[in-house]
Amino acid sequence: MQEALEGPLLALENDSLRRALRAPLLRAYSAAEGDPEALINFGSNDYLGLAEEPFIAQAAIEAVGRYGTGAGASRLICGNHAPHAALEEALAAWKGTEAALAFSSGYATALGTIPSLIGPQDVVILDKLCHACIIDGARLSGAVLRIFPHNNLDRLETHLQWARKRHPKARILVATESIFSMDGDLAPLAAIVALKERYGAWLMVDEAHAAGVLGATGGGLAQALGLGGRIEIQMGTLSKALGCSGGYIVGSRTLVDWLINKARSLIFSTAPAPASAATATASVRWMSTEAAHERRALLWTNVALFQKTWPELAAAQSPIAPVLVGGNEETLRLSKRLLAAGFFVPAIRYPTVPRGRERLRVTISARHSADSIQRLTVALRAGLGTLDGPQ
């Protein structure tokens, strides 16, 4: 086995594509900013800084005291504890849906949900930039797959026409993200909803990066546009702006009942730790408070500040700013240069993004100081400048 694996690993290394787990980074934005030795983190998805929020940590401590550390079994055997039900109630109330179902991760959510609803006789139509969990879930379903170029409504409609004609009895599922994870732009959700309705398809929207960030109470793009009631399957993760871990589906009671009976990643996996559900509940409930409103305002102020010094990145639509570099080696070099200057900004390479579209992915948090954002943009400009010149 050594030989079979070492050669390909070396090839990855030569292409600047070999990954390694890095030493733990300081993720505390505030602490990092007070310590000249520490890196300032511009790579986390913890947009609101909730992963280090004391009241959420307190919810975990209390739940561990009460329920212990493990759920003990899957939700359907005896791993279903009060915090799971509380989380699902809070999620449904927050998103304005009949019901919710919590999974152990966003990845497990997509992998369990899509094959529960769609089979080999059906059709799944995906945006080209959809996250790996949606692609993997679609593949696992065995359905015919059709991909449309990113946010291209004409091509989506062509696929819908084709699917309706060729597979008149089939279920057709359209899937998209709302804020795209690596590009930070938005799906044209209202137009997608109109199209899927015209062709009698179902729509699944992954709000992983929009939940907590967009909408009056952070409910996501569906909330911001008032479209929640017209989307069959809304999914998201508790691991990004919510600062916890786990994934979820929100939708009709019938959908959730179906998934409880069919979703293999729910049925054959131990329930999330009760303390994990309790932290997520605290985070979800917080989203509708005045404090959350203010924190989101702070996030958007920071996003605007970054954009002001980085006008290439059009108007701010999200806290994700892709700085396109192109080339694995160049992208890594820029990321390392920023590390040396005290900033962590991850280099994103194939297969996370298409070849030639390698980039630094800057994520802005409500916790960043104006000063650190300004210093980052200066370091970023200087770094990009050196890429053009002689090495």
Ligand X SMILES: *Cc1c(COP(=O)(O)O)cnc(C)c1O
Q: Which of the residues are catalytic?
A: 45, 131, 177, 181, 206, 209, 240
Helix (H, G, I), strand (E, B) or coil at 203: strand
Quick one: 209 or 285, whose CB is closer to ligand X?
A: 209
* Residue 6 CB contacts under 8 Å (≥ 6 apart), including other chains: none
Please report how close the Cβ of residue 335 comes to ligand X at its closest, in angstroms: 19
- Which residue shows structure tokens 């797959």? 145
Please report how close the Cβ of residue 247 comes to ligand X at its closest, in angstroms: 5
Q: Which residues pair with 126 in a beta bridge?
A: 147, 175
Which residue, 361, 312, 350, 368, is CA-closest to 179? 361
* Residue 234 CB contacts under 8 Å (≥ 6 apart), including other chains: 95, 97, 204, 205, 207, 220, 222, 228, 249, 250, 251
Please report how close the Cβ of residue 211 comes to ligand X at its closest, in angstroms: 10
Token pair listed for 14: 């030569």
Quick one: 95 or 337, whose CB is closer to ligand X?
A: 95
Token pair listed for 244: 């916890």
Please report how close the Cβ of residue 242 comes to ligand X at its closest, in angstroms: 10
Quick one: 302 or 363, whose CB is closer to ligand X?
A: 363
| Calpha distance 238→236 (Å, rounded) | 7
Quick one: 163 or 182, whose CB is closer to ligand X?
A: 182
* DSSP codes of every residue in 38-86: SPEE-S-S-TTSGGG-HHHHHHHHHHHHHH-S---SBTTTT---HHHHH
Please report how close the Cβ of residue 106 comes to ligand X at its closest, in angstroms: 2
**Site residues, ligand X (CB under 6 A):** 105-107, 131, 133, 177, 181, 206, 208-209, 237, 239, 247
Check the CA dihedral 102-67-70-61 and report its sign.
positive
Q: Which residues pair with 146 in a beta bridge?
A: 125
- Which residue shows structure tokens 């800084």? 49
The residue nearest ligand X at its CB is 106
Quick one: 239 or 365, whose CB is closer to ligand X?
A: 239
